[in-house]
Amino acid sequence: MNLAYDYPVLGAFWTVMWVFLWILWFVLLFRIIGDIFRDDTLGGWGKTGWLIFVVFLPFLGVFVYVLARGKGMGDREIRHAQARQQAFDEYVRETAGSGTGPGNEADQLAKLSEVRARGDLTDAEYQRAKEKILH
């Protein structure tokens, strides 16, 4: 029966170190696989070749991939993050600008009354536009 005092501190340190290294290895492996699929410059055969190399010879495949394409990984990640941010910003702009809630109706009525105050609309045109907004 092993008790806690039978397991030396150095042995616990090495166990924790190996667990950390294995987790780090899997994170790196999955990140490289994600980079292979995300890369638009690689064709289908290139992606297939890298994927087979990384999956069947994981240690050698990952090291060779990092040496050959490691610099571009950061650039691709930055471009991907910028594209996601741009898509999110466009979605927010479209959603905020095309809302049908009461705030949007109030804004449209305020703009309509400004146009009428400038004299660009007659009272009849103003009433028709107002009815359109409210219904």
13 lies in the same domain as 59: yes
CB 42 within 8 A of CB 50: yes
Do 107 and 55 have their domain in common?
Answer: no
Q: Which residues contact 31 (CB under 8 A, 6 or more apart)?
A: 73
- The reply to whether the predicted model has a pTM over 0.75 is no
- DSSP assignment letter at 40: S
The predicted pLDDT at position 42 comes to: 87
The DSSP call for residue 59 is: H
Q: Which residues of the chain have pLDDT under 50?
A: none
Q: How far apart are CA 130 and CA 112, in angstroms?
A: 8
Please give the pLDDT value at position 102. Answer: 55
Q: Which domain holds residue 24?
A: 4-70
Residue 103, pLDDT score? 59
- Number of domains forming the structure of the chain: 2
